[in-house]
Chains A and B, each alone.
Chain A
């Protein structure tokens, strides 16, 4: 019974390149969340998606960042023209269709390093 799968686990990019992070939720889960974690700063909410819909993107930077959760395939967090400040661990989490249970199942994270 696979949990949340994220890839790549580690990604190195040079400034100005694009980073694409993928997340496959737990089978049967229709809600996906992306969080960013910096040392000493905890988990920062970025975006909440359901299949083919962005429900809440209040934590996403207005520029360079985008997220999708298509009908088929994994959720993608895309960062264009990366800068050093984008270096962080990006966690994806999923939850079942019943909302606000507070039980999010987290993936192991994708650690982005921008040189």
Chain B
């Protein structure tokens, strides 16, 4: 079982719609989670972090964490073509020394 799992997609949504990206994790000891965005051919950049159960909102982005279900999600409201990228879910695993990434979900926002 992978430590952090994501559906690779691609996930296609029309412009203006809500994009929902999901992630599950296996290490119950993991406490904090992060969403990175990676444009094609570029390096990943952090867009959201979440440390406690519930929702955290930042502009058009909302991160959700459910520790009981070991589930993390990212919602992107009013999706724009510029949101088209691969979204990587990450969490600290194995005692906390390494940030483990999922394989990423490719999001395509269509005009």
Q: Which residues of A contact B (CB under 8 A)?
A: 33, 35, 40-45, 48, 55-56, 58-59, 91, 99-104, 106-109
Contact = CB atoms under 8 A, between A and B. Distances in A.
B54 interface: no
Contact of B99 (A40, A41, A45): A45
B101 interface: yes
Interface string B65-97: 000000000000000000000001010101011
Given A102-B49, A106-B43, A42 B101 contact: yes
Contacts of A48: 97-98
B99 A104 contact: yes
B106 to A, nearest CB: 10
B43 A108 contact: yes
B46 A108 contact: no
Interface of B: 6, 8, 32-34, 42-46, 49, 88, 90, 92, 94, 96-104
A103 B97 contact: no
Q: Which 8 A-B pairs have the closest CB atoms?
A: A42-B103, A106-B43, A56-B97, A102-B34, A43-B101, A45-B98, A103-B46, A42-B104
A34 to B, nearest CB: 11
Given A33-B99, A48-B97, A59-B98, A103 B49 contact: yes
Contacts of B46: 102-104
